[in-house]
Chain A
């Protein structure tokens, strides 16, 4: 019960369920969920939104969003979302997945969803590691970075180079909105929120494929405290994966508030 003259300045978004998540302490998935929830509320689209999350740490996302939700096979969220969106073109369909999912096993699906200009919104959480399975090398693991499957550090001669997905997808004529953001401090969290809103507005305007790559942390599997992981995100991840707008199609420029 609020006392007289007091206002609600902060609450759980309606688009999120009131449950404890399974995410580790210090993990930024919770922040990103909240941002998406806030934007869904702000746009008033909770009832018309259908989420899709595949395998990875986001596999339980259906427990946390108070929207219709589908759990997809590993890597296949863009395909499943395509099926859903094509039979419900008036609904808002978003996918939410990590780097192992989107940039390794699901590479073909994400590229072709972008190539088709599929009118869906993709939230791509890049924390450079397979979290759910316990910290193996991901397609986006930084050169030299130690993981349980690159115990001597990622050797690019041996294990190949990391994928820059935003840059790659920005080459696709079918993609309308491709940006990279980070959530390592409040300023950048605000930037991420704006990008999430812009991406969903692109879809609401039937303007084609939108994707926000969000650089994120994994304190558990990076073997760091939450603060250390934020510093790593800022000092190692951001320089390697530069933040920015990689493709803003002319048709969607007017939808974006700077």
Chain B
């Protein structure tokens, strides 16, 4: 099984970090992983996306045109990736910012008001983590407990106080997707 995941949003929405969470979790579960960012001159505010592949086999191309799953955090990302989704793919969109919904019947599209959910937890910037929780609930790409462990290891000292909130965000995202 090979999961080919694209996470995309405005710079600052945490698309790259969300992808790294998945990659670290994949590694922790002994799978093959790659994480590759789009890198631009914009340090802040531009678009940012990454491709994460988690596979039981050695990974060839680290880049995919047609993902099996995508988390889109803003409208331009929805417009770009919705048509590219593989048949049977999972498209999670941040409905707090994205009004459009998918008309495709061959994918599973799930709009989730991730900003609101994160805000209810008191951490508006955790919409990315909420949607990672949703992705895990739907696709079984990695286990939720593995992500907890990854968060323990990789949330920086500066954001240590947000560790529990991150874990809650994962679970809220998972719950709403189920």
Indicate if A touches B (C-beta under 8 A). Answer: no
Please report B residues at the A interface, Cβ cutoff 8 Å: none
